[in-house]
Amino acid sequence: MISPVSELIELLSLERLENNLFRGQSRDIGTKYVFGGQVLGQALSAAQATLDSARGERAAHSLHAYFLRAGDIEHPIVYDVDRTRDGGSFSVRRVTAIQHGQPIFVCAASFQVHEDGAEHQLPMPQVPMPEDVEPTPTLTPEKLAQLPSKIQRWLNRMGPFEFRPIYPRDDLNPPKRPPFQQVWFKLSEPVGDAPELHRALLAYASDFHLLGTTTFPHGISYYQPNVQMASLDHTMWFHRPFRADDWLLYSIDSPSAQNARGLARGQIFDRAGHLVASTSQEGMIRVINNDIGNDKAGG
C-alpha cells in the first residue's frame, strides 16, 4: 500500500503532454472540490519543469495565483505553461490550469539565480518547540459519525503532513478568539533532497490553516454545514532554503474580514528560526441564514 507521502509526491509529478503542457490527477481528501494546495503545488511543478538548466539553476521566489472555478476531483487537470520571460537573472512563467475546457486557476511564478545581497528578517514567535506540543487528538467514532461523509474523510485520513497547533481549537464547536495561530508541521516521512520538490510540497501545505484563521473572531468554521468557504487567491514568497520533511512553524494572522471575504497572512520558519517563506490569501466566507458579528480583531 502506497504511503500518503509517496502518494503526494506522485500527485505532484505531472505527465508531460507537450513541451509546455502537463496533466495532473486529483485526490479526494475530504474536501468538496479539488484542494487548492494541490493545484498550487502542481502548477509550481509544471512551471519548474520548463526552466532551462543551461541558463543556470533558478529557484522559485514568488507565486501569485487566482482560483477561478472549483476543481472537479473526478477528472484530471491540464496545466498550460507560458514561458513569459527568461532574462539574465530572472525567469517568469504563467500557468493556466484547465478542466472541462475552462480555466479553473491562473498563476504567475518568478524564478531567480542565487545572488548575494542585503539580508534581514523578522524574528520567529516565541513558541514551544514541536517536541513539546501534543499531536492533535483524533475524534471519537461517535463524534465522527455525526458529521457528513466528506468531513469524516477529511478528519479521519492519514495525511502526508503532521500538524501540531500551539493553541488547538475545536472546529466542531468553535469559540470566538483573536485571529492568530501558530502551527508546527512537517511531512510524516523523509523525502529526497531536490529543492524543487520541497518547494512544491510547501506550496501544497501552505493552503492548510490559512483561510481558517479568518473565522476565529466569529466562532465559525469550515466544518459547519451553513458555512461556505473558498480560496480566491494565494500568494507565496520563498526566502531561504528549507526541508518540508523537517519541522516548520506556520505563524498566521488575519488583519481583516469584510464583504464576505477574509484576508490571512502567514510566515513560515524552520526550527532554527529562519524565515523560509511568506504567504497571503483572500477567501470567500459566507454564512447561510445566520449573522456574523462585526467583531474587531482581538475582540
| Structure confidence at residue 271 (pLDDT) | 96
Our count of domains for the chain comes to 1
Domain-located, residue 233:
yes
Residue 179 has pLDDT above 70, yes or no: yes
Instruction: Give helix 195-205 / helix 36-48 axis angle, nearest 10°.
Output: 160
Domain-located, residue 123:
no
| Structure confidence at residue 136 (pLDDT) | 78
Whole-angstrom distance, CA of residue 119 vs CA of residue 199: 21
Domain-located, residue 127:
no
Whole-angstrom distance, CA of residue 90 vs CA of residue 218: 42
Q: Is 231 a catalytic residue?
A: yes
| Structure confidence at residue 220 (pLDDT) | 93
> Annotated catalytic residue: which of 45, 48, 110, 207?
207
Domain-located, residue 77:
yes
Whole-angstrom distance, CA of residue 120 vs CA of residue 118: 7
Give the contacts of 173 (CB within 8 A, at least 6 positions apart).
Answer: none
Q: Is 281 a catalytic residue?
A: yes
Domain-located, residue 49:
yes
- DSSP-based three-state secondary structure for 260: coil
Whole-angstrom distance, CA of residue 231 vs CA of residue 263: 10
> Annotated catalytic residue: which of 181, 231, 267, 278?
231
Residue 170 has pLDDT above 90, yes or no: no
In this predicted model, what pLDDT tens digit does every residue of 107-148 receive, in sequence order? 999 999 999 999 999 999 999 999 999 887 776 677 666 666
Domain-located, residue 128:
no
Which grid coordinates belong to 6?
Answer: 509517496
Domain-located, residue 72:
yes
Nearest alpha-carbon partner for 91 in 129, 125, 47, 128: 47
Domain-located, residue 275:
yes
Whole-angstrom distance, CA of residue 245 vs CA of residue 12: 16
Sign of the torsion angle spanned by Cα atoms 62, 68, 69, 70: positive
Range of the domain at 253: 4-113+135-287
| Structure confidence at residue 37 (pLDDT) | 95
Q: What is the CATH number of the domain that holds 36?
A: 2.40.160.210
- Work out the pLDDT band at 298, boundaries 50, 70, 90: very low
